[in-house]
Structure 1
Amino acid sequence: MSQEISKIPQATTKRLPLYYRFLQNFANAGKQRISSQELSEAMKIDSATIRRDFSYLGALGKKGYGYDVQDLLAFFRKTLDQDEATNVALIGVGNLGSAFLKYNFRRNHNTKIILAFDSNSPHEGEKISGIDTFHPDRIEEKIEEFGIELVILTVPSRSAQEVTDRLAKTSIKGILNFTPVRISVPDSIRVQTIDLSVELQTLIYQIKQS
């Protein structure tokens, strides 16, 4: 029996979608079983880390046998709710937002952007990359109408908290924040912040240190 995701270390939960992606690659290649070492070589992650991650999830493998690829796929599909689609809204169709709309998680994802908001869009809405896009003054109305659970935030920094406060009044469950602002939300909403400038500076530092 696997543990609840909320009780698993955050570093492990971030690797779960990666495990699922690489297991799909193994399955597509016709592999029936794999070892932690094979997964380690494919993912460039230490095999001890993989075994530790899997130990948090329960007894997934058999000693001397390794891991059954289809069993693992089924496990991760259920753990990550891959059979249940999550409706996503994008707020801010600038350069980054436009890239999200064009990509739109088409491959091997259970998430899809079905709604967008941009200050340049008309009140009555328009299609951008095939996605219904409205002016932000309709955020509360359309979030509920489309049954949105997760929002990708790519607005200017000055607008981040104001938009977040409006989102907090809706029924969304999570925000993927691409602004450098540390937004405040109620406990009912989870936030994951991805600051591209910080990630770049971290990479530069690591390169220089090595």
Structure 2
Amino acid sequence: MKDYNKEKIPRATAKRLPLYLRNLTILDTKGMTRIKSKQLSEITQVPSATIRRDFSYLGELGRSGYGYDVSYLIKVFSEILDSEEKSCVAIIGFGNLGKALANNNFRRNKNLTISCVFDIDPEIIGKTITGFHVYSMDDFKQIAHEKNIRVVISTVPSENAQQAIDVVVDSGITAILNFAPDRVEIPKHVSIRYIDLTTELLTLLFFDRHYKNTSSAVPS
């Protein structure tokens, strides 16, 4: 496989690659072998011109008149996103949302694994809940190191998120997915993505109202 210079891929393009990969993987499971940018645009709601430009940063991925080979695109995007490399994930905040995420445990990607969960509630610390031993946030740095954690998912409420994220950053973790909508302060070398469920729901409702005749995935 080609050795891609990932630093030259624009950030906007990089953010869309998981969207492409997710939808292409679904198409592959349905037996679709090739696709054109117009078809992928209808599915992802990303303009076909943008898709072609995104793909151009990665070399010659398709052929004029033929389109793109679905399985080849999956291989390319998987390599770029390192989705073939096993990554251990920790969840901090083991309330209802944390439990739901843990129980899902990335069933579509065997290389993403939730290895441990953390909380500050003394009522659940030390207990095994839905198959997960609940560790104290006081032990985060040690446990994260022992279990080789690379990514943290935070479901901690906004009022406590900064303190929790500080503990995570102090442990050396540089990749965080935060379900609290309020921004937190982090060093420049740390990557963080915010998932605001209210915003996501409003976006979904907007597309449901205004794109009734388009069968598509709502863009992320």
Does the 8 Å contact 2:117/2:133 carry over to 1? yes
Report the counterpart of residue 108 of structure 1 in structure 2. Answer: 109
Structure 1 residue 33 corresponds to structure 2 residue 45: no
Amino acid at match of 1:153: S
Report the counterpart of residue 129 of structure 2 in structure 1. Answer: 128
- Alignment TM-score, normalising by the size of structure 2: 0.82
Does the 8 Å contact 2:124/2:134 carry over to 1? no
Does the 8 Å contact 2:119/2:125 carry over to 1? no
User: How do 1:33-52 and structure 2 match up within 5 A?
Assistant: 33-52=34-53
Structure 1 residue 189 corresponds to structure 2 residue 190: yes
Structure 1 residue 87 corresponds to structure 2 residue 84: no
Q: Count how many residue pairs are aligned between Structure 1 and Structure 2.
A: 210
1:209, 1:68 → 2: CA distance? 31
Rate the CA distance shift 1:26–1:124 in 2: closer, same or farther, 3 A.
closer
Rate the CA distance shift 1:208–1:70 in 2: closer, same or farther, 3 A.
closer
Does the 8 Å contact 1:21/1:108 carry over to 2? no
2:169, 2:26 → 1: CA distance? 38
Rate the CA distance shift 1:45–1:114 in 2: closer, same or farther, 3 A.
same
Does the 8 Å contact 2:93/2:119 carry over to 1? yes
Deviation at 1:2, TM superposition (A): 7.3
Structure 1 residue 157 corresponds to structure 2 residue 158: yes
Higher mean alpha-carbon deviation, 116-125 vs 143-152, is at 116-125
Superposition CA RMSD, Å: 2.7
Report the counterpart of residue 172 of structure 1 in structure 2. Answer: 173
Provide, for residues 113-170 of structure 1, a one-character-per-residue CA deviation record: whole Å limited to 9, x for no partner.
1110012357973322222321211111111111111111111222211122222221
Provide, for residues 158-203 of structure 1, a one-character-per-residue CA deviation record: whole Å limited to 9, x for no partner.
2211122222221212111111331112223111112223444566
- Alignment TM-score, normalising by the size of structure 1: 0.85
2:57, 2:175 → 1: CA distance? 24
Amino acid at match of 2:114: I
Higher mean alpha-carbon deviation, 105-114 vs 117-126, is at 117-126
Deviation at 1:205, TM superposition (A): 7.4
Does the 8 Å contact 1:123/1:138 carry over to 2? no
Does the 8 Å contact 2:92/2:117 carry over to 1? yes
Rate the CA distance shift 1:144–1:19 in 2: closer, same or farther, 3 A.
same
Report the counterpart of residue 77 of structure 1 in structure 2. Answer: 78
Report the counterpart of residue 217 of structure 2 in structure 1. Answer: none
1:41, 1:207 → 2: CA distance? 15
Q: Which of structures 1 and 2 has the larger relative contact order (alpha carbons within 8 angstroms, sep 6+)?
A: 2
Higher mean alpha-carbon deviation, 120-129 vs 190-199, is at 120-129
Rate the CA distance shift 1:25–1:198 in 2: closer, same or farther, 3 A.
closer
Q: Which secondary structure state, in structure 2, belongs to the residue aligned with residue 168 of structure 1?
A: helix
Deviation at 1:33, TM superposition (A): 2.3
Does the 8 Å contact 1:179/1:193 carry over to 2? yes
